[in-house]
């Protein structure tokens, strides 16, 4: 099993000027990121849409890498996006999946068929030209230059430790420091996109 | 003039309206009202078609496109609009995404005559519940309402809907 925060630290060394959508890894990423203006830490606007959102950003900014840290619970809600990504094949899209086999933010209940789903094979079957799976950080860290160095779309399934939260939502530490609209405005300003 | 001619809505006119507002991407799922429009859009090199298998995904794709500086339009049937409720709430209202929904009105019959299909019965109550403003387009004479919708969406940074109410009157030829 991979520690999400350690994995994100390893990734940060390779991010370059990529736009990063950290998904459920956001609470770690906001403390790790070297380029916060290029991050889109959205938290959870509506579950099931993170991959589609990051894919949309990738279509809009084809000259720049877009890296998503999706989660298996989110992806299960919108699996069809794998087909859409595979059809348009954005060469700048890197789709990492944090698979902790549970809904960590609601107390750790298992996702459907939690231990038996092969997301790498699902991505390949949907039409992703390249897909990987990792259960250990060392192997993933060694492969990161190759993964990031090749054209997308690339899918990377990772088994990660569940960071289960069981406190009432009002008692949890708020890790998002910027509003959704501020996050987007910061990115657009950085990319010189007229609002 | 018979009712069929009076009610004619041309896909060419719809496309012209969409392009007038700088749309770059059409995020869509087919419906029975829009096949001819699809063929026109597909032939247009200025548009990228993004096909999704479930309409809720169209909202988050559109949000990403807008965040990245492009101009999406969402083209779905009313059934799919209703399926998209939470995505509309979170990804479009939450992120203040200006986007127009072009909504094929399955089950709609002009003059409010009832049909056996319940899809249109729930469409306007759904839009009202989400406080999404909407404009009905049934013929070419209504087409400028599409521009009104685009302008309103851009001004308010909210989704606005255009209801394409011509399933039985020629839009699909």
Instruction: Map tokens 């002009």 to a residue.
Output: B110
Element housing A28 (H / E): helix A26-32
Distance CA B31, CA B28 (A): 9
Specify the 3-state DSSP secondary structure of A168: coil
Domain boundaries, chain A: 4-190
Tokens representing residue B33 in the block: 């009202």
Nearest residue of A to residue B92, measured between CA atoms? A45
Q: Would the pTM of this model clear 0.90, i.e. be above it? A: yes
Nearest residue of B to residue A50, measured between CA atoms? B60
Nearest residue of A to residue B60, measured between CA atoms? A53
Q: Does A180 score more than 50 pLDDT?
A: yes
Domain A4-190, CATH among 3.40.50.970, 3.20.20.70, 3.40.50.300, 3.40.250.10: 3.40.50.970
Chain A residues close to B51, C-beta within 8 Å: 84, 87
Instruction: Report pLDDT for B168.
Output: 47
Distance CA B60, CA A12 (A): 25
Task: Tell me which CATH code domain B3-68+84-164 carries.
Answer: 3.40.50.970
Instruction: Report pLDDT for B1.
Output: 42
What is the residue-level pLDDT of chain B in tens, covering all 173 positions? Answer: 444 445 578 889 999 999 999 999 999 998 876 777 888 899 999 999 999 999 999 999 999 999 999 999 999 999 999 999 999 999 999 999 999 999 998 888 766 666 788 898 999 999 999 999 999 998 899 999 999 999 999 999 999 999 998 754 545 55
Domain boundaries, chain B: 3-68+84-164
Chain B residues close to A53, C-beta within 8 Å: 60-61, 63-64, 67, 91
Q: Does A86 score more than 80 pLDDT?
A: yes
**What average pLDDT does the segment A164-173 reach?**
85
Q: Is B93 on the interface with A (CB under 8 A)?
A: no
Percent above pLDDT 90 for chain A: 90
Per-residue model confidence as pLDDT tens digits over A92-119: 999 999 999 999 988 899 999 999 999 9
Chain A residues close to B30, C-beta within 8 Å: none
Q: Is B96 on the interface with A (CB under 8 A)?
A: yes
At A83, is the pLDDT very low, low, confident or very high (cuts 50, 70, 90)? very high
Instruction: Report pLDDT for A172.
Output: 86
Of A45, A55, A58, the CB nearest to B94: A45
Name B43's Cβ contacts closer than 8 Å, sequence gap at least 6: none
Q: How far does the CA of residue A103 sit from the closest CA of chain B (Å)?
A: 18
Instruction: Report pLDDT for B38.
Output: 85
In three-state form (DSSP H/G/I as H, E/B as E, the rest C), the secondary structure along chain B is CCHHHHCCCCHHHHHHHHHHCCCCEEEECCCCCCHHHHHHHHCCCCCEEEECCCHHHHHHHHHHHHHCCCCEEEEEEHHHHHHCHHHHHHHHHCCCCCEEEEEECCCCCHHHCCCCCCHHHHHHHHHHHCCCCEEEECCHHHCHHHHHHHHHHHHHCCEEEEEECCCCCCCCC
Q: Does A22 score more than 50 pLDDT?
A: yes
Chain A residues close to B52, C-beta within 8 Å: 52, 80-81, 84
Best of A38, A53, A189 to substitute, by most chain B Cβ atoms within 10 angstroms, is A53
Percent above pLDDT 70 for chain A: 99
CB contact under 8 A, B87 and A193: no
Bridge-partner residues for B77, per DSSP? B104
Label residue B29 exposed, middle or buried (CB < 10 Å: 0-12, 13-18, 19+).
Answer: buried
B86 contacts B148 by C-beta, under 8 angstroms: no
Question: Among residues B118, B67, B63, B70, which one has the least CA distance to residue B89?
Answer: B63
């Amino acid at each position: 099993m991979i520690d999400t925060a350690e994995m994100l630290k390893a990734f940060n060394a390779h991010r370059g000027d990529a736009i990063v959508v950290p998904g459920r890894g956001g609470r770690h990423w906001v403390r790790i990121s070297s380029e916060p203006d290029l991050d889109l830490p959205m938290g959870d606007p509506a579950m099931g849409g993170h991959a589609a959102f990051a894919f949309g950003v990738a279509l809009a900014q084809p000259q720049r890498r877009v890296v998503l840290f999706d989660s298996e619970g989110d992806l299960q809600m919108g699996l069809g996006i794998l087909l859409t990504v595979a059809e348009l094949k954005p060469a700048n899209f890197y789709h990492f999946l944090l698979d902790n086999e549970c809904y960590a933010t609601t107390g750790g209940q298992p996702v459907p068929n939690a231990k038996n789903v092969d997301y790498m094979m699902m991505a390949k079957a949907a039409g992703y030209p390249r897909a990987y799976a990792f259960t250990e950080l060392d192997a993933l860290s060694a492969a990161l230059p190759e993964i990031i160095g090749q054209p997308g779309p690339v899918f990377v399934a990772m088994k990660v430790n569940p960071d289960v939260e069981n406190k009432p939502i009002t008692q949890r530490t708020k890790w998002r420091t910027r509003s959704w609209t501020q996050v987007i405005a910061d990115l657009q300003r950085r990319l010189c996109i007229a609002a | 003039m018979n009712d069929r001619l009076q009610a004619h809505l041309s896909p060419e006119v719809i496309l012209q309206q969409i392009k007038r507002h700088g749309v770059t991407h059409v995020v869509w799922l087919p419906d029975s009202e829009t096949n001819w429009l699809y063929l026109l859009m597909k032939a247009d090199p200025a548009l990228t078609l993004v096909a999704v298998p479930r309409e809720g995904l169209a909202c988050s794709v559109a949000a990403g496109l807008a965040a990245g500086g492009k101009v999406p339009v969402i083209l779905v049937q009313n059934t799919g609009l209703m399926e998209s409720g939470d995505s509309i709430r979170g990804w479009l209202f939450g992120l203040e995404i200006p986007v127009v929904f072009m909504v094929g009105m399955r089950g709609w019959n002009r003059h409010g005559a009832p049909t056996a299909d319940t899809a249109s019965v729930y469409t306007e109550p759904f839009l009202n519940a989400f406080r999404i403003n909407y404009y009905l387009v049934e013929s070419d004479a209504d087409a400028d309402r599409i521009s009104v919708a685009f302008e309103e969406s851009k001004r308010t940074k909210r989704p606005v809907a255009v209801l394409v109410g011509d399933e039985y009157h020629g839009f699909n030829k």
